[in-house]
Amino acid sequence: MDINYHNLLLANYSLLNQGLHERIKGSELSPGQPKVLNYLIGNNGATQKEIADGCFLTPGSLTTILTRMEKLDMVERRRENGNMKEIHVYLTDKGRKLSDEAENIFNDLNKIALSGLTSEEKDIFLRTFLKIYANMQKF
């Protein structure tokens, strides 16, 4: 395998997903839900569009995830201020509890991914990766 951005990104993404799936096995969480819960921790009451953008999901994928989460009493969707176009999403008590679990999973995966790096190396990597992200957004 060539060592290049594309291959390394795909390999790391695959390993991250494997780690996530391993950690949610046996819990009430299913793929897609942890990142939505994690987003809602700091953005409770966000619109579906904001959540989709913040979680890098298509609106259709998010709708499927939210429908399941709502059936499992993790979130509640509401229309506010008479606006029929925007749906706001709120964590329920159960959703808040599971969001703590999701946050712990992501913190664990971050620790694993960045282990062995100095603080300076972590900072340089994250700033560089953010620049790459900004470059890719131009497409």
Confidence of residue 85 (pLDDT cuts 50, 70, 90): confident
For 104-120, the pLDDT digits (tens) are 999 999 999 999 999 99
Confidence of residue 1 (pLDDT cuts 50, 70, 90): low
Q: How many CB atoms lie within 10 A of CB 139?
A: 4
* CA–CA gap between residue 51 and residue 43 (Å, rounded): 8
Per DSSP, what are the bridge partners of residue 50?
none
The pLDDT value recorded for residue 131 is 95
Q: Which two tokens stand for residue 19?
A: 């780690």
Confidence of residue 98 (pLDDT cuts 50, 70, 90): very high
Mean pLDDT confidence for 22-45:
94
Per DSSP, what are the bridge partners of residue 87?
79
Counted domains in the chain: 1
Question: What phi and psi values does residue 83 have, to the nearest 5 degrees?
Answer: -80, 110
Residues spanned by the domain of 83: 5-137
Question: What phi and psi values does residue 6 have, to the nearest 5 degrees?
Answer: -55, -50
For 47-84, the pLDDT digits (tens) are 999 999 999 999 999 999 999 999 999 999 999 877 77
Contacts of 57 (CB under 8 A, 6+ apart): 32, 51, 65
CATH of the domain at 14: 1.10.10.10
